[in-house]
Amino acid sequence: MSNIKRRDLLKAGAGIAAGAAAPMIWVKNAYAQQWNNTPEKGAKLRVLRWSRFVQGDIDQYMKNVQAFTAKYGIEVRVDSESWEDVRPKAAVAANTGAGPDIILGTYDDANLYPEKLVEVTDLCNYLGKKYGGWYPACETYLKPDGKKWIGVPLGATGSMMVYRESQIKAAGFDSFPKDTDGFLKMMKALKDKGTPGGFALGHATGDANTWCHWLVWTFGGKMVDTSNKVVLDSPETIRALEYAKELYGTFIPGTLSWLDPNNNKAFLDGQVSVTNNGISIYYAAKNSKDPKINALQSDINHANYPAGPAGVSTACHLFMNQMIFKYTKYPKAAKEFLRFMMEDEQYGAWLQAGIGYTAQPLAAYEKNPIWSVDPKHTPYRDACKQLRPAGYAGKLGYASAGVLADFIIVDMVAEAASGSKSPKEAAERAQKRAERYYKV
Amino acid sequence: MHKLLDNKNALGLLFMLPAGALLLVFLTYPLGLGTWLGFTDAKIGRTGEWIGLENFQFLIGDSVARLSLFNTLFYTIVASVLKFVLGLWLALLLNRSLPFKSFLRAIVLLPFIVPTALSAIAFWWIYDSQFSVVSWTLVKMGLIDRYIDFLGDPWMARASVIIANIWRGVPFVAISLLAGLQTIPPSLYEASSIDGATPWQQFWNVTLPLLTPIIAVVMTFSVLFTFTDFQLIYVLTRGGPLNATHLMATLSFQRGIPGGALGEGAALAMLMVPFLLAAILFSYFGLQRRAWQQGGSDK
Amino acid sequence: MEYLQSLPRRWVTLYIPLGAFLVVLLFPFYWMVMTSFKSNEELAAKAANPFWIVKPTLEHFEKLLFRTEYPQWLWNTVLISTVATFLSLFCAVLAAYAIERLRFRGSRQVGLSIFFAYLVPPSILFIPLALIVFKLGLFDSPWALILTYPTFLVPFCTWLLMGYFRTIPYELEECALIDGATRWQILVKIMLPLAVPGLISAGIFAFTLSWNEFIYALTFISSSENKTVPVGVITELVEGDVYHWGALMAGALLGSLPVAILYSFFVEYYVSGMTGAVKE
């Protein structure tokens, strides 16, 4: 399968990159000659991006933007919206044919309106060659037909296991379990010790989707097969749901109402010992002026998801893309902007300033110091590398977007876990709901 | 020119012009398009083709959509009835002679003034399953021993959002009714009390009838806005838990925008129309029939 | 006739229920005020007393006022809400008078059709509406909002004013007509002054609805300096999954109090204006 070949390539690429001593030193000159692009004269760009998750992100991003303007004389205006609000605005832009030139989107936004986007195959080929290749998920999302790139991947925000070291030790576990059986044992022990965990089961677009998809996948279940036929209702899924039910018994109360910010608050207040989240909890602890919370940072650690019977430990982490819309007056300038922002000088600095919130889409950036400067950052490094798009294993498009937005998997897990439906019923219902979307 | 201006019809049309122009320009196309979209399979970024009633057929068979219909009716009826009763009561209270009257009347409006997006966030914390101040108080008072799961249990969540909606909407109803109460001449009360009427009889026979036109207007709008409520639910629960608080407006947004199925979202929004129309017509014809005010001949 | 009631009775029927209402309505504000003055550390702790502040701080207000574009947003929101309200009231007064008093041919149907504006909620309407806003070149300008807000303000104001106009005795107009007044004069000199409570009510709610509006403001405005308070505050003070509670509540407070104070003047106005003298 081409996937395996690609993985070998990536490993080789990483090997070469490792050969060049850190910090990253790329053979700039040889590759620079392959990129030929002159932005239009008098170009002006408008960029819409999601509002920063950490302050360092936007600070460095703006520095990069200013460097771009200084170099090319092109004025760039950057506007932010809350990350979930970018979607309606992108939808309006796609529908009305006017709006920002570049939009930084999430998940499979680009797959909803691929014909409205400027093709960026040359740019992506250039970047891929220069920086060790793109991870498979990037191609699934942004090279849907296998030939043309419809956007430039920006990276992914991992939502990993976040836990209190001291508390799992007190429950009898020296390290975070690597398999689902161990994980369940640990959660039970934590609950018995009065330090339960908690995972979001409300309509939390980030956290709930990530861990619920992990759960189904790690037991071998999936939404669709490669021909886009819905296969959600399967013995594997039902096993996952039974597991979820047992797990739910170890959670603190209230998780059915948890949206994305709830677990952050609860964790920092010491009410949960384990949850899944981006690196923002750790970051908040580090920067807190409250001595009690600040002290948490040495106790917080991160881990990848445990592997279940299917042997995989993957989740649908939040994928970020950069899209250029066809209505732009300056496609060349836009491409140049994206190229500039993805080059090491800018992107590498941005990765570091974002303190690990975003993981790179290109293999070479695995060597970025941010991942080694603090060992607690390392679990987040491979978020983009190991992520699976939420439409696994089929093709992405309206169906997969609809299914994700409607929280079909999250609702299924929540129904089974809380007992409001039996695992079999929950799976059947989810299957029916999903079939409606995939009948297209 | 004078003749023209005196001609009722011409003048009428002229007077309607500003409102008419604005609404025509900004609404006819979107409303028309919004309606048409419901009959197509339009997606975000892709114009759709006519598919007739297919969206509607699906929605009627979809359990989540049916649940949203139930939720919307439940939410609207309960919240509106309570808003009316509490609003009327508050208006009656504020109509009495009080110290600091105008100050009180102004601060009563506060829940309505705060931007909904922000007061919804505040309520979200007030309802938080770990941090709620209400739970904290009740625990300290010894009335309960565990924090209340306001938004995690389907029926609790429904009650919680209804309470938030009532909190936000009562000032609106109260102040509107208060202004209406102000136009009732005190002489009517004096005359009836001289005739021996009790306060309850006065309320029933003097206040209510005279207030009816205003009640009709205010409650119609309250029902309309409650039925199509979006922001509050979106912030508090996103329609959860398990879709228990999904209203038709929030579900149609979820299907249409993040879900990309614009046609289906529009169709779901259209399904609200019969109910809204019924509310409007009921109020317009039914309640206003009792306009035996001078100047309004019986319709 | 308040003097007819004994004091204990007043307590039971007036003060206690009123007090209960006030507590319920204002309690969230008390909490919001507390939150906006509490330091972040106190906010994060579950054990802390939510009703009291141990160490009050102005850092949230400072952050809001000096490190975001809040003052600009506040100004935008005031401007947009005020102009949209006046525009809507203007349209509504004329329309209400036309439908209610002029009774021109077709006025019943027109009066009813105005309400069709409410049949499709803004949460779906905003996309086709965005197209119009673009076509008219209004995107990212306050005018996009000033001209689109009346679509949900005018019907409400019109109907409210129709209700108020209906309570004004027709004889007043008849007399004026007999005396030779034009319709316009009647409207301006007789109807409007008598309908002042209605105008103020309608104005208050139009202003408030504009102030609170979210989805159109989100969609039609992009530049940070053109944003309104609800949109700007959410964008700036919600970092992904971390909510800056203190600053958010400070924003809510700062965004409401000036309006509340303004309202208190108007409330004064219509309280003193109408105590039934006219109707006799």
Residues of C in contact with B182 (CB under 8 A): 197, 270-271, 274-275
B52-293: which CATH topology?
Answer: MetI-like fold (1.10.3720)
Q: Which residue of C has its CA nearest to A283?
A: C242
| φ/ψ bin of A200: left (φ > 0), alpha (ψ from -120 to 50), beta (otherwise) | beta
- pLDDT tops 70 at residue C45: no
Q: What is the rounded distance in angstroms from the CA atom of residue C37 to the CA atom of residue C87?
A: 38
Asked whether residue C26 falls in the same domain as residue C91, the answer is no
Work out the pLDDT band at A216, boundaries 50, 70, 90. Answer: very high
Residues with Cβ within 8 Å of residue B204, at least 6 apart in sequence: none
Q: What is the rounded distance in angstroms from the CA atom of residue C203 to the CA atom of residue C208?
A: 8
pTM for the whole structure: 0.81
pLDDT at residue C3 in the model = 55
pLDDT at residue A2 in the model = 42
Q: Do residue C222 and residue A85 have CB atoms under 8 angstroms apart?
A: no
pLDDT at residue B75 in the model = 94
pLDDT at residue A197 in the model = 92
Would you mind telling me the total number of residues written for chain C in this entry? 280
Q: What is the rounded distance in angstroms from the CA atom of residue A417 to the CA atom of residue A244?
A: 5
Determine contact, residues B251/B231, Cβ cutoff 8 Å: no
The residue from C31, C57, C83 where one domain ends is: C57
- Within 199-238 of C, beta carbons closer than 8 Å to A belong to 215, 218-219, 222-224, 234-236, 238
- pLDDT tops 50 at residue B299: no
pLDDT at residue B3 in the model = 57
How many domains in chain C? 2
Instruction: Report which residue type is found at A279.
Output: I
Of C111, A299, A60, A148, which is closest to residue B16 (Cα–Cα)? C111
Residues of A in contact with B62 (CB under 8 A): 433, 436
User: Residue C98 is part of a domain; what is its CATH number?
Assistant: 1.10.3720.10
C205 touches chain B (CB under 8 A): yes
List strands edge to edge, sheet with A300-303: A274-277, A160-164, A300-303
- pLDDT tops 60 at residue A214: yes
- pLDDT tops 70 at residue A21: no
Asked whether residue C196 falls in the same domain as residue C149, the answer is yes
Q: Do residue C242 and residue A261 have CB atoms under 8 angstroms apart?
A: yes
Q: What is the rounded distance in angstroms from the CA atom of residue C6 to the CA atom of residue A184?
A: 68
Q: Do residue B238 and residue A203 have CB atoms under 8 angstroms apart?
A: yes
pLDDT tens digits for range B177-235: 887 787 777 888 888 888 888 878 888 888 888 888 778 778 888 888 888 888 888 88
Asked whether residue C231 falls in the same domain as residue C256, the answer is yes
Determine contact, residues A431/A232, Cβ cutoff 8 Å: yes
B34 touches chain A (CB under 8 A): no
- pLDDT tops 60 at residue C103: yes
Determine contact, residues C198/C205, Cβ cutoff 8 Å: no
pLDDT at residue C269 in the model = 57
- pLDDT tops 90 at residue A237: yes
Determine contact, residues C215/B230, Cβ cutoff 8 Å: yes
Instruction: Report which residue type is found at A177.
Output: P
Residues of A in contact with C46 (CB under 8 A): 269, 271
Distances (CA, A) of A30 to A35, A126, A133, A362, A417: 10, 12, 16, 19, 56
Q: Give chain C's end-to-end CA distance (angstroms, integer).
A: 18
Asked whether residue C125 falls in the same domain as residue C16, the answer is no
B170 touches chain C (CB under 8 A): yes
Asked whether residue C31 falls in the same domain as residue C146, the answer is no
Residues of B in contact with C205 (CB under 8 A): 172, 176
Determine contact, residues B229/B172, Cβ cutoff 8 Å: no
pLDDT at residue B83 in the model = 94
Q: Do residue B257 and residue A271 have CB atoms under 8 angstroms apart?
A: no
Q: Within 13 Å, how many C-alpha atoms sit on residue A386's CB side?
A: 20
A325 touches chain C (CB under 8 A): no
Residues of A in contact with C222 (CB under 8 A): 46, 48, 79, 89, 99-100
Asked whether residue C48 falls in the same domain as residue C96, the answer is no
- Comparing CB atoms, the residue among B9, B125, B231 nearest residue C214 is B231
In this prediction, residues C221-233 reach a mean pLDDT of: 85
pLDDT tens digits for range C106-161: 777 777 777 777 777 777 777 778 878 878 888 888 999 999 999 889 988 887 78
pLDDT at residue C271 in the model = 45
Specify the range with the lowest mean pLDDT, choosing from A184-193, B64-73, B267-276.
B267-276
- Within 174-233 of B, beta carbons closer than 8 Å to A belong to none
Q: Do residue B58 and residue A436 have CB atoms under 8 angstroms apart?
A: yes
What long-range pairs does C221-226 form, CB within 8 A, spacing at least 24?
A: C221/C140, C221/C144, C221/C145, C222/A46, C222/A48, C222/A79, C222/A89, C222/A99, C222/A100, C222/C139, C222/C140, C223/A77, C223/A79, C223/C140, C224/A79, C224/A80, C224/C69, C225/C69, C225/C72, C225/C76, C226/C76, C226/C140, C226/C141, C226/C142
pLDDT at residue A215 in the model = 94
Determine contact, residues C164/C198, Cβ cutoff 8 Å: yes
DSSP helix/strand/coil, A277: strand
DSSP helix/strand/coil, A74: coil
Quick one: tokens of A386?
Answer: 């190991």
Asked whether residue C157 falls in the same domain as residue C75, the answer is yes
pLDDT tens digits for range A336-345: 999 999 999 9
Q: What is the rounded distance in angstroms from the CA atom of residue A150 to the CA atom of residue A207?
A: 27
Q: Which chains touch C (3 or more CB pairs under 8 A)?
A: A, B
pLDDT tens digits for range A6-17: 444 444 444 444
Asked whether residue C10 falls in the same domain as residue C140, the answer is no
Q: Do residue A96 and residue C134 have CB atoms under 8 angstroms apart?
A: yes
Asked whether residue C142 falls in the same domain as residue C30, the answer is no
Domain ranges of chain B: 52-293
Asked whether residue C214 falls in the same domain as residue C238, the answer is yes
Task: Tell me the residue range of the domain where C33 lies.
Answer: 2-57
- pLDDT tops 50 at residue A1: no
Asked whether residue C131 falls in the same domain as residue C96, the answer is yes
pLDDT at residue B123 in the model = 86
- pLDDT tops 50 at residue A120: yes
pLDDT tens digits for range A47-63: 999 888 888 889 999 99
C174 touches chain A (CB under 8 A): no
pLDDT at residue C6 in the model = 67
The residue from C15, C38, C57 where one domain ends is: C57
Specify the range with the lowest mean pLDDT, choosing from A252-256, B172-176, C265-269.
C265-269
The average confidence (pLDDT) of chain C is 78
Q: What is the rounded distance in angstroms from the CA atom of residue B271 to the CA atom of residue B278?
A: 12
pLDDT tens digits for range A304-327: 999 999 888 888 999 999 999 999
Asked whether residue C230 falls in the same domain as residue C165, the answer is yes
